[in-house]
Amino acid sequence: MRLAIPEVVVLRLPEYLRALEQLAGEGVYLVSSQELGEKLQVTPAQIRKDLSYFGHFGKQGKGYDVKRLIGELRRILGLDRDWRLAVVGVGNLGRALLRYGGFSQQGFKIVAAFDTNPKVTGKKVGPVVVQDVAEMPKVVKSEGVHIGVVSVPASAAQEAVDRLVQAGVRAILNYAPATLRVPPSVYIRHVGPVSALESMTFYLKDVKG
């Protein structure tokens, strides 16, 4: 029962969490699946079903305690602890990620950055000093890196993930526009500014303009 939770459900949880955090910020203490569904454009039944995979968080006749549910979702998603990130590739995009402050709010902490270019290694960017990739195995271990963020050019992406995997990183977020191979034990996900746009245009293309 507790096992085999559909991935789509897991993908919706952060959306619920965001909406709840917004409500909490507005001073809302209680919310029904109906109200939350309207805010998120999701059916109330879906919200209740999704949450039922993990426990009983609501009160009949009242709804959900917003703060409590935020706490539960954060726990379920593993956001009730710190996660240590390493950024590989300090180009335009890597630099932006390093300087972006929004990670810390959800417990993500950048603890290392790597590059091969001697023009950037040794320099401080955002919260860390950029190190040569040769240092990766040592630093990943000493800094306890959980997640690797790949922001190198597509042509260097496979080598970057190979090095990360070799160094012991089990989860990778890939910003490079490339299809990458990792062992089954490693969790990898592709993101990036362009990806979201590419499927969006499918729905736009028929409209005039």
Q: Is 67 in the site for DNA (CB under 7 A)?
A: no
Closest CB to its own copies among residues 132, 143: 143
Of 30 and 156, nearer to DNA (C-beta) is 30
Q: Which does 58 bind (CB under 5 to 8 A by kind): its own copies, DNA, none?
A: DNA
> Around Cβ 205, how many Cβ atoms within 10 Å?
8
Q: What are the residues facing 63 on neighbouring strands?
A: 59
Residues 50-79 that bind its own copies (CB under 8 A): 76-79
x-or-dash string of contact with its own copies, 112-151, rule CB under 8 A? --------------------------------x-xx----
Q: For residue 189, what are the contacts with CB-CB under 8 A and spacing of at least 6?
A: 172, 173, 174
Does 14 bind DNA (CB under 7 A)? Our answer is no
Specify the stretch interacting with its own copies by CB under 8 A; choose among 55-63, 111-119, 131-139, 190-198: 190-198
Task: Establish if 28 lies at the interface with its own copies (CB under 8 A).
Answer: no
Identify the residue whose tokens are 């040569």: 132
Please give the structure tokens belonging to residue 148.
């690797």
Helix ranges restricted to H, the chain: 7-25, 33-40, 44-52, 66-76, 92-99, 136-143, 154-167, 193-204
The listed partner (DNA, its own copies, none) that binds 60, CB under 5 to 8 Å by sort, is: DNA
- For the CB of residue 135, give the shortest distance to its own copies in the complex, in Å: 20
**Segment contacting DNA (CB under 7 A): 57-65, 123-131, 150-158, 198-206?**
57-65
| Binding-site partner at residue 48 among DNA, its own copies, none, CB < 5 to 8 Å by type | DNA
Q: How many residues does the chain have?
A: 209
Question: Which of 180-198 are b and which e, b meaning 16 or more Cβ less than 10 Å from the residue's Cβ?
Answer: bebeeebebebebeeeeee
Nearer to DNA, 53 or 83 (CB): 53
Q: What is the DSSP string of 61-111?
A: TTEEEHHHHHHHHHHHTT-SS-EEEEEE--SHHHHHHHH--TTGGGTEEEE
Which residues lie near DNA (CB under 7 A)?
6-9, 32-34, 42-46, 48-49, 51-52, 56-64
